Structures are given as C-alpha cells and as structure tokens.
Amino acid sequence: MIEKIRVAIFASGSGSNAENLVQYFNQHQKIEIVSFYCNNPSAAVIERAKKLNLPCLIFSKADFTTKGTVLLKLEEEKIDFIVLAGFLWLVPTYLVAKFPQKIVNIHPALLPKYGGKGMYGHKVHQAVAFNKDLETGISVHYVNELYDEGDIIFQAKIKVETTDTENSIAQKVHKLEYEHYPAVVEQIISKYFNV
C-alpha cells in the first residue's frame, strides 16, 4: 500500500475553495487532505472543517512568523505539501525554505496584474472592473517570500464584458477556481512526488 501524499490547506476566509479541494481528493488513491490551518478565529472555513471532519489549527501571527506552533503541527502531521486557498498572510521565510516548491497559491487575477500586498478577493475584481479590463482570470503559482511573486504554474482566462460588475466578475472567477485549482494541484503534486 502506497503512502499517501499528505496535504494541509491554509485558509483565512469562507473556505469554499478549501472544501472544493477536499471533495476533489476525497477518494484519491495517492493524495490526502489531512487538515486545515487558519489565521482568522472568526473565519467560516473553521465550520467547514468541522463539517468535513478535518482538524483545523487556528493560529496567531506569532505562532506563524516564528518557528513555533504551526511548524510543529505540520511536522507532527507529517505534511508533505501545502495549498493556500484564500490565505491572506505572507508565508514566512522559514516555511518557504522547509517546503521548497511545495507551497502553492491561487490568485484571482492574471498575475503579475493586480498582485501584491492588499490585493485579494473583491479588491482585485474591483480593480478589474474599474480599469475596464477586457479579460481577467486566475493564476496558480508557487509561493515564495513575496506576495504573489512565485513562479506561475497555470493561468486560465475569462472575457470581461462591458456589462460585468465587480460581483459578476467575482462569480466568473470563482467558477474558474473551482474548475481548475484541484486538478492543477493534483498535477503539481503528482509530478513533484512522482506518484
């Protein structure tokens, strides 16, 4: 029996992408979502974790920025790979070094456009609508020590119509995230671990 690749999901908000990932990998032969990690004690993702019968570590800035609780828990759970799904904090250098090319993130825009500190969720869609962009989309990228600057692995695009609002753009982009993120994560893990 092959040992499964053990994955942790980091999230800060509602956790809809996190739940989508769990459902995708539910019966997977080689990849298993083991736990959630959350930096926001009032995030809806915590309830989702309970509903999915998955442990969720809620941690503070201090737990995360220094080699403490978060790292110990990742080691204890024998985590092989980390997936960010709406996680808003910058990943500290020690964690990037501990998981080289083994942390991925999804960004709701076509990076390098609308990336960087403070650019997340509706702020991105607002910018796309305000600037009357003709297209937007998603970017899956490796995580490094800077916001949204790791190597891009995958992008998917959608057309932005003149009638689109910030909300309708958000809905279109969410659809792309649900459609592509789990499969891209599967490809990255399969390739990296040769499973």
Whole-model pTM: value is 0.97
Cis peptide before 55 (omega within 30 of 0): no
Domain map (residue ranges) of the chain: 5-193
State pLDDT tens for residues 33-43: 999 999 999 99
- The catalytic residue positions are 107
Q: Which CATH class is domain 5-193?
A: alpha beta
The rounded Cα 100 to chain-centroid distance in angstroms is 16
- CA separation for the pair 132, 147 (Å, rounded): 24
* pLDDT tens digits for range 99-150: 999 999 999 999 999 999 999 999 999 999 999 999 999 999 999 999 999 9
Beta-sheet strands, E only, within the chain? 5-11, 31-38, 56-58, 81-84, 103-107, 135-142, 152-159
Which tens digit of pLDDT belongs to each residue from 41-68?
Answer: 999 999 999 999 999 999 999 999 999 9
Residues 117, 147: Cα–Cα separation, whole Å: 6
DSSP 16: H
User: Which residue in this structure is represented by tokens 């997977």?
Assistant: 28
